[in-house]
Amino acid sequence: GRTRPAFDLLGAAQSLADIVIGMVLQRDRAARLVQQSVRDPAALSLEAAIEALAAASFRVAPGESERRSALRRVVARALADRLIALAADREAAPEVRAMAEFQLSQLEGRARRLGAIGRPAARAQWLAIAADARRWIERREAPQPTSAPRLPQYDPFGIDW
């Protein structure tokens, strides 16, 4: 983590969010979601998958603790970074890239609105997400996201002997 010797709560959350969101938004998986929703309108679509991730992270819950709010912003940042990467991925299907960019434009507006309220630290993070999304949409400049802390090389759930 970045807070040695103390435990890096936000770094651990960033690593986990990056793994989970990265798996959901993996280019081939995203293309399968597009294809399956074309075949079966009741199937989970890429749009619905992204919107579910955004609904859980791009919000402020009244009365929520600062810790929980900070963790939510870490997830929102991971989602924005992965959407930018997916929109920029030349190997991704055109429908996938288009949906990633569309959702990114939606999230840019949400982040800008969230950046108008709350504590300065939270506002700064929301506005940074909005600025990175806008930079991609307008100039096709992808930010250089801070990499998630490396995971330990051992099994985090223990070893069965």
| 3 state SS for 85-151 | HHHHCCCCCHHHHHHHHHHHHHHHHHHHHHCCCCCHHHHHHHHHHHHHHHHHHHHCCCCCCCCCCCC
> Could you write out the DSSP letters of every residue in 18-78?
HHHHHHHT-HHHHHHHHHHHHH-TTSPPHHHHHHHHHHHHS---TT--HHHHHHHHHHHHH
- Grade residue 153 by pLDDT with cuts at 50, 70 and 90: low
Assign residue 14 a region (left: φ > 0; alpha: ψ between -120 and 50; beta: otherwise).
Answer: alpha
State yes or no: cis peptide before 5, omega within 30 of 0: yes
Number of C-alpha atoms within 13 angstroms, CB side, residue 97?
Answer: 11
Whether the predicted model's global pTM rises above the 0.75 cut: yes
Question: Strand, helix or coil at 5?
Answer: coil
Angle (nearest 5°) at CA 93 between 88 and 97? 40
Average pLDDT in the 94-106 region? 97
Per-residue tokens: 73 = 């912003």
Average pLDDT, rounded, for the chain: 89
Per-residue tokens: 33 = 């979601």
Average pLDDT in the 146-152 region? 61
pLDDT of 147 higher than 90: no
pLDDT digits (tens, 9 = 90+) for 19-59: 999 999 999 999 999 999 999 999 999 999 999 999 999 99
Residue showing tokens 């990265």: 22
pLDDT of 146 higher than 70: no
Report the pLDDT value the prediction gives residue 148, as an integer from 0 to 100. 58
Report the pLDDT value the prediction gives residue 161, as an integer from 0 to 100. 47
